[in-house]
């Protein structure tokens, strides 16, 4: 045992000290015993802080509450468990208010003692880890990682932060592309200016053009006043063009002009607007393949592809999972006014085994759910259902119906109908394969299939084909929203055990 695993016993009763001296080593702790508050403070002043203190509330001389106050001033991080009798319940409440981590009735069993010590030691360990992590986050603008590939990306981000070179950030949905962009912005001289994010896939072309570049009064129906665009809002700062692979050719040409000359015209206007905005772009589309297929401008690709960062999926950097869990536990415990407590070992192991199709966003939602509900089985069940949902949707939506089904007797044996059905099944198979190859990027899939984007959407709607990862993530997000509504009703009732 290391000295950090020492438990200090402070009790004036000889039998209690003798009992704890014999039982604590069997629970895996070293033990030191003193019979007064004064001796406890003398020990703490000259020794490393113990893992926990077992403190009697009623002692001659310096009482338990005064001893507690002075211990917390000397070692604020030490977990103190107070020992009491049934008649001292009011003193117990006072002790908890003063910082005691837990309390035990002096009729406690060995197992109860072991569990109480384990809980307070693990909780304090988590608080210490979170404090270290928070200090790291304060320095690094939220990029939590120990993975070599991401550490290299951080190094590159620091090197390019104070340049005006465009940055292209690639990776699956939910891997943290925006976090990387904000990290680079936070490391730059522009960090005091605006960071503006726009989702290029969320808006139709005309509206996206108006949002990016602004419009003049009367430019279109409903344009009653002049409106500055997001590029103007990002002047002096950074603009992140998220899902740039979904941008139309017309807007790609206008964006190219901004990158080349730092100027553009508002929608419906003639006056040139000059801006100084650092441009970053992110996408889950392979833009070099999109260029080869004619879906993305080659000249714009080369303009954006100056600094290229590829973020690996979470399943390829599992060493980040414990760090991210600690960060999310701290964040959502504060947000929902929950006590900070470590994730159960079983849940942590399940997290390390899970493939995380939704990447960091899915992990965040899972930790968020546990912080809100505090129920291990619910969290494990949601994790199993998420994994099963992905496999089930893939199987049901992208696989053809069984070929052995044969024609419906009511349809007759029309050769035309049999041929049409076979052609449709072949189309479904091909569509499923191409969608899987393109990671469910519908525009890229339409290009490979040599059909229009609208035609692809019609086929997806007709055959009820959906993105399995997005479907699972949306269902999970919906459950988290419900959990939030429940959490907003107030703290969960806590069970109080009778002494």
**Residue range 172-183, pLDDT digits in tens:** 999 999 999 999
Mean pLDDT of 414-427: 67
Give pLDDT, residue 230. Answer: 94
Tokens of 159: 């090197």
Read off the pLDDT band of 389 (50, 70, 90): low
- Given a cut of 90, whether residue 415 has pLDDT beyond it is no
Who wins on pLDDT, 485 or 326?
Answer: 326
Are 149 and 313 a contacting pair, CB within 8 Å?
no
Q: Assign 3-state DSSP to the chain and report helix, strand, coil percentages, each to 5.
A: 55, 10, 30
- DSSP secondary structure code for residue 177 in this structure: H
Other C-beta atoms within 10 Å of 463: how many?
15
Mean pLDDT of 374-396: 73
Give pLDDT, residue 22. Answer: 92
- Given a cut of 90, whether residue 194 has pLDDT beyond it is yes
Read off the pLDDT band of 72 (50, 70, 90): confident
Mean pLDDT of 203-232: 87
81 - beta bridge partners?
54, 102
Q: Which of 162-166, 218-222, 232-236, 361-365 has the lowest mean pLDDT?
A: 218-222
Distances from the Cα of 427 to the Cαs of 252, 431, 433, in angstroms? 31, 6, 10
Give the β-pairing of 167-170 and 307-310: parallel
Who wins on pLDDT, 403 or 159?
Answer: 159
Are 375 and 485 a contacting pair, CB within 8 Å?
no
Read off the pLDDT band of 139 (50, 70, 90): very low
**Maximum alpha-carbon separation in the chain:** 102
Rg (CA), the chain: 30
CATH numbers and ranges of domains, the chain: 3-125 (3.40.50.2300), 141-312 (3.40.50.300), 315-404+415-491 (no CATH)
Give pLDDT, residue 496. Answer: 33
Give pLDDT, residue 280. Answer: 97
Give pLDDT, residue 126. Answer: 74
Give the β-pairing of 79-84 and 52-56: parallel
Q: Indicate the average pLDDT of the chain.
A: 82
User: How far, in Å, CA of 293 to CA of 355, rounded?
Assistant: 31
Are 261 and 300 a contacting pair, CB within 8 Å?
no
CA angle 287, 356, 446 (to 5 degrees): 35
Find tokens 């384990």 and name the residue: 118
- Given a cut of 50, whether residue 409 has pLDDT beyond it is no
């Amino acid at each position: 045992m290391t000295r950090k695993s020492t438990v200090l016993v402070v009790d004036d009763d000889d039998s209690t000290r003798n009992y704890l001296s014999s039982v604590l080593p069997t629970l895996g702790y070293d033990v030191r015993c003193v019979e007064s508050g004064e001796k406890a403070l003398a020990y703490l002043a000259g020794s490393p802080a113990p893992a926990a203190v077992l403190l009697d509330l009623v002692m001659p001389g310096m009482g338990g509450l005064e001893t507690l106050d002075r211990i917390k001033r000397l070692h604020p991080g030490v977990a103190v468990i107070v020992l009491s009798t049934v008649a001292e319940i009011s003193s117990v409440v006072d002790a908890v208010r003063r910082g005691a981590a837990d309390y035990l009735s002096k009729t406690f069993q060995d197992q109860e003692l072991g569990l109480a010590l384990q809980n307070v030691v693990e909780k304090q360990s988590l608080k210490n880890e979170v404090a270290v992590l928070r200090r790291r986050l304060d320095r690094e603008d939220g990029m939590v990682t120990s993975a070599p590939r991401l550490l290299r990306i951080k190094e590159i981000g620091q090197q390019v932060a104070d340049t005006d070179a465009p940055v292209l950030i690639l990776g699956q949905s939910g891997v943290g592309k925006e976090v990387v962009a904000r990290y680079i912005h936070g490391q730059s001289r522009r960090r005091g200016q605006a960071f503006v994010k726009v989702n290029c896939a969320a808006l139709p072309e005309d509206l996206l053009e108006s949002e990016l570049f602004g419009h003049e009064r009367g430019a279109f129906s409903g344009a009653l006043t002049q409106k500055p665009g997001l590029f103007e809002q990002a002047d002096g700062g950074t603009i992140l063009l998220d899902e740039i692979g979904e941008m139309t050719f017309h807007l790609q040409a206008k964006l190219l002009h901004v990158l080349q000359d730092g100027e553009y015209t508002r929608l419906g206007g003639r006056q040139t607007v000059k801006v100084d905005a650092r441009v970053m772009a992110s996408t889950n589309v392979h833009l070099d393949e999109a260029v080869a297929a004619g879906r993305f401008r080659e000249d714009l690709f080369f303009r954006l592809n100056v600094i290229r960062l590829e973020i690996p999926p979470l399943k390829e950097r599992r060493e980040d999972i414990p760090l991210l869990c600690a960060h999310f536990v701290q964040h959502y415990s504060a947000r929902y006014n929950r006590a900070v407590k470590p994730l159960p070992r079983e849940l942590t192991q399940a997290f390390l085994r899970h493939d995380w199709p939704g990447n960091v966003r899915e992990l965040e939602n899972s930790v968020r759910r546990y912080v809100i509900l505090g129920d291990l089985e619910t969290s494990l069940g949601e994790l199993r259902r998420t994994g099963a949902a992905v496999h089930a949707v893939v199987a049901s939506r992208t696989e053809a119906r069984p070929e052995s089904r044969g024609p419906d007797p009511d349809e007759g044996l029309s050769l035309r109908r049999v041929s049409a059905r076979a052609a449709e099944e072949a189309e479904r198979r091909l569509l499923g394969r191409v969608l899987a190859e393109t990671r469910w990027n519908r525009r890229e899939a339409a290009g490979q299939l040599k059909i229009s984007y609208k035609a692809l959407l019609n086929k997806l709607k007709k055959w009820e084909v959906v993105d399995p990862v997005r479907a699972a993530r949306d269902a999970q997000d919906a459950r988290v929203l419900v959990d939030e509504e429940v959490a907003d009703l107030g703290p969960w009732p806590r069970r109080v055990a009778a002494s």
